[in-house]
Amino acid sequence: MYVCSCFGITEKQVRAHAETGACTPRQIAGACKAGTDCGSCVRRIQAILGRGACPRRELLDQGEPAAALAADVVLPADTGLAAEAA
């Protein structure tokens, strides 16, 4: 089922990005652009992430430093998200 109709991103794709380290809608956007056009899918993406799609989410919720957890998450430079994450 499509989560982001603007970019044709499915729930399965969002889950796959979450499993490789994207724990926030911004990180999902960095991985596949979902949520960066009309934005109507952001709440759905948040819901998917909130249902345990991201294995690191529990560590973030326990107060682990986000920078350490995100160190191996690569954001594409052309989205401008990489500069925001720094």
Interface ranges with ligand FES (CB under 6 A): 4-6, 34-41
Residue closer to ligand FES, measured from CB, 61 or 78: 78
Question: Nearest distance from residue 82's CB to ligand FES, in Å?
Answer: 19
Distance of CA 50 to the CA centre of its chain: 11
Give residue for tokens 């969002």: 14
- Helix H or strand E segment including 30: helix 25-32
In angstroms, rounded to a whole number, what is the distance separating the alpha carbons of residues 56 and 39? 24
Question: Nearest distance from residue 57's CB to ligand FES, in Å?
Answer: 21
Residue closer to ligand FES, measured from CB, 37 or 58: 37
